[in-house]
Amino acid sequence: MSLRLPLVVGCLILFLVAAKTLTSEDKILPYTEWNEYLGGPDRNHYSSLTQITPENVKNLKVAWTYSTVDSGQMQTNPIIVDGTLYGVTPTVRAFALDAATGKEIWTFGGKSKEGSNTSRGLTYWTDGTDKRILHSIGSYLYALDAATGKPIESFGDGGRLDLHTGLPEVAQKKYMVSNTPGTIFEDLIILPLRLSEGADAAPGDLRAFNVRTGKLVWTFHTIPYPGEYGYETFPPDAYKNTYTGGANNWAGMAVDRKRGILYIPTGSAGDDFYGGKRKGKNLFANSLLALDARTGKRIWHFQTIHHDLWDRDIPAPPNLLTITKNGKKIDVVAQVTKQGYVFVFERVTGKPIYPIKEVSVPTNALPGEAPWPTQPIPSKPAPFARQSNTLTDKDISPYAPDRDSLLIRFKTYNKAIFAPPSKEGTVILPGFDGGAEWGGAAADPQEGILYVNSNEMPWILTMRDTPKDTELSKLSPGKRVYTTYCATCHGTERGGSAKSGYPALTNIGQRRDRDFVGNIVTTGKGMMPGFTMLSATEKHALLSFLFDDEKTEVVDATPKSKKVYLPYQSTGYHKFLDKKGLPAIAPPWGTLNAIDLNTGEYVWKIPFGEVPALVEKGIKNTGTENYGGPVVTASGLLFIAATKDEKFRVYDKKTGKLLWETVLPAAGFATPATYQVAGKQYVVIACGGTKLGTKKGNQYVAFSLP
């Protein structure tokens, strides 16, 4: 008998045993499905589908449209599972459609007091038999039957879980929503959380829940408790959540399921612009955390901003991909930032792929503040957005009709990179919305190329003394509440700043009824957090002030909410604009970038988007503000909407050449998805508009080849 036969049989048995024990999470993803947020657990926005190619993309036609029952901004990246598309409407109703026709199968939710925040999508989980959609509305997570949209009663409390579960008592009534899909690992779901950005924020604890029952499984404290790593980087009692909070993940996360590692980016600790009450480096705010997905234990971390004073939240999930360096394949995690940096690390050890230098930065700050003396800056890749310290007088826009007055203002501002907030005004470039924003980056997971769209909108951060109680006591009860909580964004005279995205509240009663405004005050909407700390009396006084009928009422509006007193506050969010509402600096105002992470060098960089009013004058390729990410395919295409000019574009991923574009029914401030049903490839985008002054929309539009 040949010795080869037992050897072959033995190997075959081992192979079959190994194959039998593989779970769906262990298999190499073919990248042909879109059953997770941004295409997969690596968050690479990548598809191996090749039916749509550079040669035939010009033939794309609308395959179907779906109109939601409501209208307004949609940031949703839909998921597609077994021929069914799952998405979210502007008022956060979940729905399921036939992915080939757009025909509605079910909807969940209705006109809800909690449905005012935007949603970036849904999470799907299955064990092969039980199939669930996990959907957040307000401060609750719902588990729905994927086939029917009905709540699963055995999950949480009758089908829903309170997102405050597991937090300390002091945080139980604080504002909290989850508007980015949770991440699945085995039977766990780990949820991003959006919190207030002031000193009153809830703690940004990372928590994993059992996806079947809703039970809390583990917690990681992003503001460390006594005895925990990083505790000494905050004042001793910071963990008690009485004067600081946040350090939360709101942008989503990635997971290496083979290794069981979660990669979680976090935002800043509250308050965004004054850190005198949270002196120190402030771990684990503004950090990329690698945690054991089963236990929540820290494996490694890297802090991208120390003691953040500029609202430099890490804005998007990281990308998990493989690069080749010095002839060796390396699994890496790449994190884009608002500052326009890309940090690249070995996935297991956290070792930087390219050196990161701690650079000295200005520390001349407001009294009581203690800026960190250095900040980390990667040696490669070069920033994909301009930095404030590179600006000169020559960078003031040549298209601004008021260029001379802009120059005068420009000379008064502090333009040093990481200059602390001041009363004189500090240029924030990239602006508060990036650089990179929540749309995040796409990546070719094997070629090691990262694709990221970027904003180059300058903002001016100016601080002022916080009004003292003696000053507030002279105001009417409603104006007292307004000045304390609302004036920073909407202005002391309620005029807002439409160009910066903050609506005027003058004559609000002619546009909205009292119940609607009252609901927004409590639950928040879009960028605005909910003010859950207000007492009923304070809320009543505020509404009376906003609706200009305060004089007809006698109200005791003695503040009962406990607002943390800070000596300084921001004067609001102000873009540096010319009198026509365009950026005060020269183009490009938005870019699209392809970065080779194997070398740290750029493959190409182009202006992204146009301004129609300038195009009419023959001025093209200026770029424009953009929100939402790209999708990249194995066939060589990069699909992206995102721009203020309301277009949907397709580029050659190797060269950046524009191959096809079309005008959408409303701006697509979202990331597309691509999928295949019955042998046909589709690409779909949510078109809600509304943001940046664009018109409202309510359609999902799917394209395919004829």
Residue 115's pLDDT band (cuts 50, 70, 90): low
Segments in 328-422 forming alpha helices (H):
403-412
Q: Which residue has the higher pLDDT, 512 or 500?
A: 512
| CB of 69 closer than 8 Å to CB of 113 | no
| CB of 38 closer than 8 Å to CB of 671 | yes
Strand partners, 591: 454, 607
| pLDDT, position 12 | 38
| pLDDT, position 535 | 80
Domain range annotation of the chain = 467-564
Q: What's the whole-number mean pLDDT along residues 559-582?
A: 87
Q: What's the whole-number mean pLDDT along residues 2-30?
A: 39
- pLDDT tens for 226-247 read 999 999 999 999 999 999 999 9
| CB of 204 closer than 8 Å to CB of 193 | yes
Instruction: Look at residues 69, 60, 133, 45 and name the one whose alpha carbon lies nearest to residue 96.
Output: 133
Q: How far is CA 567 from the centre of its chain?
A: 29
Q: Residue 367 pLDDT more than 70?
A: yes
* DSSP letter assigned to residue 429: S
Q: What fold does the segment set 467-564 form as a domain? A: Cytochrome Bc1 Complex; Chain D, domain 2 (1.10.760)
- pLDDT tens for 65-86 read 999 999 999 999 999 999 999 9
Q: Residue 677 pLDDT more than 50?
A: yes
Q: Residue 520 pLDDT more than 80?
A: no
- pLDDT tens for 573-586 read 999 999 999 999 99
Q: How far is CA 550 from the centre of its chain?
A: 38
Q: Residue 522 pLDDT more than 80?
A: no
Euclidean distance between CA atoms 303 and 461, whole angstroms? 23
- pLDDT tens for 383-423 read 999 999 999 999 999 999 999 999 999 999 999 999 999 99
Cα-based distances in Å from 483 to 86, 487, 530? 41, 5, 16
Q: Are strands 631-633 and 46-47 parallel, antiparallel or unpaired?
A: parallel
| CB of 489 closer than 8 Å to CB of 502 | yes
- Predicted TM-score (pTM) of the model is 0.92
Euclidean distance between CA atoms 81 and 540, whole angstroms? 46
Across all residues in the chain, what is the average pLDDT?
92
Place of tokens 């005012």: 116
Percentage of the chain exceeding pLDDT 70: 92
Euclidean distance between CA atoms 297 and 220, whole angstroms? 7
Sign of CA dihedral 304, 305, 310, 313: positive
Amino acid at 585: I
| pLDDT, position 509 | 78
